[in-house]
Amino acid sequence: MTRLHAEHLTLAYEQTTVATDLGVEIPDGSFTVIVGPNACGKSTLLKALARMLKPKAGGVYLDGRLISAYRSREVARRLGLLPQTSIAPNGITVGDLVARGRYPHQKLLKQWSSEDEAVVTESMRLTGVLDLADRLVDELSGGQRQRVWLAMVLAQQTSILLLDEPTTFLDIAHQVEVLDLCADLHEDGGHTLVAVLHDLNQACRYATHLIVMRPGGVIAAQGDPSEIITAGLVEEVFGLPCRVIDDPETGTPLIVPNRRVRKSEHDRPVAVHEHAAL
Ligand SMILES: Nc1ncnc2c1ncn2[C@@H]1O[C@H](COP(=O)(O)OP(=O)(O)OP(=O)(O)O)[C@@H](O)[C@H]1O
Ligand SMILES: [Mg+2]
């Protein structure tokens, strides 16, 4: 059994059932990537794995015990979550927000150590936000803010990291930088990473284990991207006709959507000026 796995999960919000009887196993030391169409349940699964959402049935197991049996601080020392959306407290600086990642490590009497300080600085350096330390989080660009949240999760220094769309808002160079950083953590640091990504080609490049979810919180396929990704699977899960070729740089699957076929005159949307003329 792996350090983090779930059995027979039913995940639901008040009105919506997102998944039933969902089982998932995160290979230890893997860079696991979850892909799937909008609203299929990726974030919901991540929240359940991080104990932010209580399953209606089934259980999540962390290091051999039900995750619900741990104290929160104990979960936070083992596992860090970067949620899809986070709201920073009003008027907080970058440095102070990243420092919050150290809370699970603080002792009752000894409040803030030089080690805490060093970890916070290193986390900001790794994510390229050190220069922003004194800025207000509210006043950052979307991409800068995303990297600050990532720094906060890194400062938590957990061996398992769950990252929900860590590359949202980032330009292509920063996307690659963040994914490279994740790959380094996984390769050098022995971390277990689970990331939700929308870019299938990046997912195929970086994932050592790929989980493809379909609507209804169902796992359509999982495994090595080169073994599971086919045009048929992409069309079935995303409804997108495409070709799959070898990525010229890495040899991993590269998904190329089919060219657009012009809709017939009948189907095309009516332009605004045509509306006016009607
Ligand atoms: N807090 C909530 N309350 C009620 N329903 C929710 C809540 N959060 C998500 N849902 C619903 O649960 C379903 C799964 O949502 P989820 O956020 O897990 O999707 P996702 O796969 O992460 O999508 P995306 O790619 O858009 O982030 C959706 O139908 C969504 O509307
Ligand atoms: Mg989501």
Q: Give a yes or no: residue 76 inside a domain.
A: yes
CB distance 84 to ligand 1 below 6 Å: yes
> CB neighbours (10 Å) of residue 144?
20
Q: Angle at the Cα of 201 (from 186 to 180), degrees rounded to 5?
A: 30
Q: Give a yes or no: residue 57 inside a domain.
A: yes
If you average pLDDT over residues 197-202, what whole number do you get? 98
Kindly tell me if the per-residue pLDDT of 109 is higher than 70.
no
Measured CA to CA in angstroms, residue 108 lies from 103, 105, 112, 114, 248 at distances of: 10, 10, 10, 16, 54
Is the alpha carbon torsion for 207, 2, 19, 74 positive or negative?
negative
Tell me, what DSSP letter sits at residue 93?
Answer: B
Residue 84 CA to ligand 2 centre (angstroms) = 6
Domains of the chain: total: 1
Give percent of the chain with pLDDT exceeding 70. 96
Measured CA to CA in angstroms, residue 198 lies from 175, 195, 204 at distances of: 12, 10, 11
Residue whose Cα lies nearest atom 25 of ligand 1: it is 38
Q: Give a yes or no: residue 140 inside a domain.
A: yes
Residue 39 CA to ligand 2 centre (angstroms) = 7
SS3 192: strand
Position 276 scores a pLDDT of 67
Residue 71 CA to ligand 1 centre (angstroms) = 26
Rounded Cα distance, 179 and 201, in Å:
12
Q: Give a yes or no: residue 131 inside a domain.
A: yes
Domain of 55: which CATH number? 3.40.50.300
Residue 174 CA to ligand 2 centre (angstroms) = 20
Kindly tell me if the per-residue pLDDT of 113 is higher than 90.
no
CB distance 106 to ligand 1 below 6 Å: no
If you average pLDDT over residues 190-215, what whole number do you get? 97
User: pLDDT digits over 160-195, tens only?
Assistant: 999 999 999 899 999 999 999 999 888 987 899 999
User: pLDDT digits over 17-40, tens only?
Assistant: 999 999 999 999 999 999 999 999
Name the pLDDT band for 52 (thresholds 50, 70, 90).
Answer: very high
Give percent of the chain with pLDDT exceeding 90. 83
CB distance 41 to ligand 1 below 6 Å: yes
- Where is average pLDDT lowest: 79-83, 215-219, 267-271? 267-271
Q: What is the DSSP string of 42-88?
A: HHHHHHHHTTSS--SEEEEEETTEEGGGS-HHHHHHHEEEE-SS--P
If you average pLDDT over residues 32-52, what whole number do you get? 97
Query: Which ligand is in closest contact with the Cα of 84?
Result: 2
Residue 154 CA to ligand 1 centre (angstroms) = 25
Q: Give a yes or no: residue 254 inside a domain.
A: no
Position 270 scores a pLDDT of 74
If you average pLDDT over residues 48-77, what whole number do you get? 96
Q: Give a yes or no: residue 181 inside a domain.
A: yes
Name the pLDDT band for 108 (thresholds 50, 70, 90).
Answer: low
Q: Which domain holds residue 24?
A: 4-224
Average per-residue pLDDT in the chain? 93
Rounded Cα distance, 152 and 149, in Å:
5
Rounded Cα distance, 27 and 211, in Å:
11
User: pLDDT digits over 119-133, tens only?
Assistant: 999 999 999 999 999
User: pLDDT digits over 247-259, tens only?
Assistant: 999 999 999 999 9
Residue whose Cα lies nearest atom 28 of ligand 1: it is 39
User: What's this model's pTM, rounded to 2 decimal places?
Assistant: 0.93
CB distance 217 to ligand 1 below 6 Å: no
CB distance 44 to ligand 1 below 6 Å: yes
If you average pLDDT over residues 142-168, what whole number do you get? 95
Q: Give a yes or no: residue 17 inside a domain.
A: yes
- Phi, then psi, of 195 in degrees rounded to 5: -130, 140
Q: Give a yes or no: residue 147 inside a domain.
A: yes
